[in-house]
Amino acid sequence: MKQAIQTENAPEAIGTYSQAVRVDKTVYLSGQIPLEPSTMTLCSEAIDAQITQVFDNLSAVCVAAGGSLNDVVKLTVYLKDLMHMPRVNQAMARYFSEPYPARTAFGVTALPRGARLEIDAIMVDSVDSAEML
């Protein structure tokens, strides 16, 4: 059984998708871009601010699913400029502890709303999906 995850603490979906979907103990988080949830606008043009906003958005969806970033096992990072990967690494050191999630990174030519990065995630936790209903 799959269950949609929704929170006002992260940007609302800007298309036909859910912020996340739980299947048993696995939660698949849709890609987050650096939108401020209250205004649905980019938080800043600065890459460091965008990285922080993306991780804050992912964290909010994890919490809504009954977990936290500590439960994330896989990230996929999409960057308009791969030169910013060291900054993503620095942020990951603030948001995650060892063992760090597995990760894949791609350089892309464009992202929604002019964002400089997008990150999606897979979270696995010990919450029973029946408890979330």
Instruction: Report the CATH number at residue 7.
Output: 3.30.1330.40
How far is residue 21's CA from residue 121's CA, in Å, rounded to a whole number?
Answer: 11
Question: Model-level pTM greater than 0.85?
Answer: yes
User: Which residues are paired to 102 by β-bridges?
Assistant: 74
8 A C-beta contact, residue 29 and residue 123 = yes
In total, how many domains does the chain have?
Answer: 1
Question: What is the full per-residue pLDDT of the chain (133 aa) written as tens digits?
Answer: 899 999 999 999 988 999 999 999 999 999 999 999 999 999 999 999 999 999 999 999 999 999 999 999 999 999 999 999 999 999 999 999 999 999 999 999 999 999 999 999 999 986 554 555 4
Q: Which residue has the tokens 């800007």?
A: 14
How far is residue 20's CA from residue 61's CA, in Å, rounded to a whole number?
Answer: 7
Q: Which domain covers residue 12, as residue numbers?
A: 2-132
User: Which residues are paired to 78 by β-bridges?
Assistant: 106, 118
